[in-house]
Chain A
């Protein structure tokens, strides 16, 4: 066969083979992408951010390797407290490795906790600026975490972390409306529980948040009752919240008697309710607590001088105080 003819036949064969395998490959490709086994094509923006050699490695198929290196870079930015660079790097990292929970958690943590604390104490900025920086860091952290949840809807850890962040006494003032925030926290915890893989404490945490939402007290009460039925769940906070919510439902309840039922002894009841009374920063509801405490003080014959009502309370979270210097 003449060489030119040979090359012609070969070219046809290659094209033919290509045509034959195209449907098979296209199918397999989408199957793999659907199963999350091969990554979606990288965004153009991300491609710009990673440099040439990293691009080569990424194309070679090792995005996680590049993500690892970027993680190291983010760590050194963290050590130098370059918060914008940290956030930017984490955005690139999660583009490369969107299904690695660690990166979402750490990125959110750097924004909402490390950066925020830094701005809290940064005396170089004026108070108003500091407050704004603090607020926006926390909001950025939340947004980042929520994006992570969208990418990993089955991951209970990320959901629980979101719930934790939103119900954190030091954080929720950044979000404005506290009811909406606690509500969101409770919902996040609830979704985590729904995945079926969450640990037990998550459901309790859901209650702790739900109880603080004005307007969903009855929902919280139902949950409290459900949890209380299981012995393992009977933590002090849960017991207290059960009491408080029952008091909300029925203001005419005999407070002291119910407290004794729940806590067992007058001393235990008094201790528990005193601690709860003093936890003003977390904005737990206190329905019926004052009544019960008064009754218990009489029962326990506590000297009015030592009454709990004469002790100073924690000041509720006042961001103005933090930034007044």
Chain B
């Protein structure tokens, strides 16, 4: 009985089987359980008040800003850690446990295997972020309501005119949960996805989980300077920098991803709106990176021997 291996639907079905399996495998690992629970606790801690001065007019708005920046900071940290660590351990674990042999001995193309593992990790990151996002939005929603109540009280006692009250209400609502905030969470997801695909690439030529993890984190940090390196390269010469410096900045900007692009989070927290078009472009970039790194991983992995 010969079954078509190379039809698109069979590729997709194999990839989804492996992805779902990787997802359940990761979820059942106690480590990730604890990580997500911890992250949720951190976000839920926003329910308590921080000691801060609030002037009468901006009463409470700073609390909302704190909630957002603390939650998004938690999300950024945890999503990157999850993405890197989960990816870094998947391949070495399969090799060590020899379960890799049983999978590759079946008619499973190696690309499907890699893509499936990556997708499993992305599912894990997505679900965790969704949970954290849900919690953050809930806390933010409740707090916004509380802030608005306090503001209404104050406005009534001070006898504010209705247009002032409406303006204050509008401003408070803008600081509360909004679509741009969801967009910012998605930007966090995109950044984590790029890190996961990068970790996949590194894990194909390193067999050690630790090595992959450390190198990935290094790249993550240095990647934030990529934009500076690129600017330096593009504008160099005028400042009279040497050829060598220019070469270094060129290399850095070619090799590393530019993570600064995803720093739209700060602007959203300060109240800026994130246009859909920008989000679309960021998604496109994220997709390019993920696809490129997956194919690069396949290039190395396809001739790896076990």
Residues of A within 8 A of B (CB): 1, 6, 9-10, 13-15, 17-19, 21-22, 24-26, 28-29, 31-32, 35-39, 41, 56-57, 59-65, 67-68, 71-72, 75, 78, 97, 99-102, 105-106, 109, 199-201
Known contacts A15-B254, A57-B73, A100-B271; decide if A38 and B62 are in contact (CB<8 Å).
Answer: no
B-side interface size class? 35 or more
Cross-chain contact A22 with B285 (CB below 8 angstroms): no
**Does chain A have a CB within 8 A of B292?**
yes
Cross-chain contact A25 with B51 (CB below 8 angstroms): no
Mask of B289-301 contacts with A, CB within 8 angstroms, 1/0? 0001000100110
CA distance A41 to B300 in the complex (A): 37
**Chain B contacts for A75, CB-based, 8 A:** 51-53
CA distance A109 to B57 in the complex (A): 13
Chain A residue nearest to B221 (CB atoms) is A59
Known contacts A9-B299, A72-B52; decide if A22 and B253 are in contact (CB<8 Å).
Answer: yes
**Chain A contacts for B72, CB-based, 8 A:** 62, 65
Known contacts A15-B254, A200-B161; decide if A29 and B167 are in contact (CB<8 Å).
Answer: no
A-facing residues in B31-76 (Cβ within 8 Å)? 50-53, 55, 58, 61-62, 65-66, 68-70, 72-73, 76
Cross-chain contact B266 with A62 (CB below 8 angstroms): yes
CA distance A25 to B259 in the complex (A): 10
CA distance A166 to B207 in the complex (A): 68
State the main secondary structure of chain A at its contact with B: helix
Known contacts A10-B296, A102-B61; decide if A61 and B55 are in contact (CB<8 Å).
Answer: no
How near does chain B come to A264, taking the closest CB pair, in angstroms?
Answer: 23
Cross-chain contact B270 with A97 (CB below 8 angstroms): yes
**Chain B contacts for A37, CB-based, 8 A:** 264, 267-268, 272, 274, 278
A-facing residues in B233-265 (Cβ within 8 Å)? 234, 253-255, 258-265
> B62 touches which one: A9, A56, A102 (CB < 8 A)?
A102
**Chain B contacts for A65, CB-based, 8 A:** 69-70, 72-73
How near does chain B come to A274, taking the closest CB pair, in angstroms?
Answer: 24
Q: Which of B88-96, B126-134, B224-232 contacts A (4 or more CB under 8 A)?
A: B224-232
**Chain A contacts for B228, CB-based, 8 A:** 41
Q: A60-B80, A101-B58, A102-B58 are in contact. List 9 more A-B contacts (CB 8 A).
A: A6-B299, A15-B255, A32-B261, A37-B268, A61-B76, A61-B265, A62-B266, A68-B69, A100-B65
How near does chain B come to A35, taking the closest CB pair, in angstroms?
Answer: 7
**Chain B contacts for A1, CB-based, 8 A:** 303
Cross-chain contact A36 with B285 (CB below 8 angstroms): no
Cross-chain contact A28 with B281 (CB below 8 angstroms): yes
**Does chain A have a CB within 8 A of B5?**
no
Chain A residue nearest to B282 (CB atoms) is A28
CA distance A321 to B72 in the complex (A): 53
CA distance A56 to B51 in the complex (A): 25
**Does chain A have a CB within 8 A of B269?**
yes
CA distance A21 to B161 in the complex (A): 54
How near does chain B come to A55, taking the closest CB pair, in angstroms?
Answer: 10
Chain A residue nearest to B226 (CB atoms) is A25
**Does chain A have a CB within 8 A of B97?**
no
List of 10 A-B pairs having minimum Cβ-Cβ separation, nearest first: A18-B254, A61-B263, A65-B69, A64-B69, A59-B224, A62-B73, A65-B73, A64-B269, A99-B270, A37-B267
**Chain B contacts for A102, CB-based, 8 A:** 58, 61-62, 65
Known contacts A28-B261, A62-B72; decide if A199 and B51 are in contact (CB<8 Å).
Answer: no
Chain A residue nearest to B267 (CB atoms) is A37
CA distance A4 to B283 in the complex (A): 34
Cross-chain contact B55 with A105 (CB below 8 angstroms): yes
Cross-chain contact B254 with A19 (CB below 8 angstroms): yes
**Chain A contacts for B266, CB-based, 8 A:** 38-39, 61-64, 97
How near does chain A come to B47, taking the closest CB pair, in angstroms?
Answer: 16
Cross-chain contact B69 with A62 (CB below 8 angstroms): yes
Cross-chain contact B254 with A10 (CB below 8 angstroms): no
CA distance A102 to B269 in the complex (A): 13
CA distance A19 to B250 in the complex (A): 9
Cross-chain contact B300 with A6 (CB below 8 angstroms): yes
Known contacts A21-B285, A37-B272, A68-B70; decide if A29 and B261 are in contact (CB<8 Å).
Answer: yes
CA distance A21 to B51 in the complex (A): 46
Cross-chain contact A60 with B300 (CB below 8 angstroms): no
Cross-chain contact A60 with B224 (CB below 8 angstroms): yes
How near does chain B come to A134, taking the closest CB pair, in angstroms?
Answer: 21
Cross-chain contact A36 with B260 (CB below 8 angstroms): no
Cross-chain contact A109 with B230 (CB below 8 angstroms): no
CA distance A61 to B269 in the complex (A): 12
CA distance A20 to B167 in the complex (A): 47
CA distance A106 to B53 in the complex (A): 9
CA distance A9 to B58 in the complex (A): 58
Chain B residue nearest to A9 (CB atoms) is B299
Cross-chain contact A14 with B73 (CB below 8 angstroms): no
How near does chain B come to A310, taking the closest CB pair, in angstroms?
Answer: 35
Known contacts A28-B261, A102-B58; decide if A36 and B272 are in contact (CB<8 Å).
Answer: yes
Chain A residue nearest to B223 (CB atoms) is A59
How near does chain A come to B262, taking the closest CB pair, in angstroms?
Answer: 7
Mask of B129-153 contacts with A, CB within 8 angstroms, 1/0? 0000000000000000000000000
CA distance A31 to B260 in the complex (A): 13
CA distance A209 to B11 in the complex (A): 74
CA distance A78 to B51 in the complex (A): 12
Chain B residue nearest to A110 (CB atoms) is B53
**Does chain A have a CB within 8 A of B77?**
yes
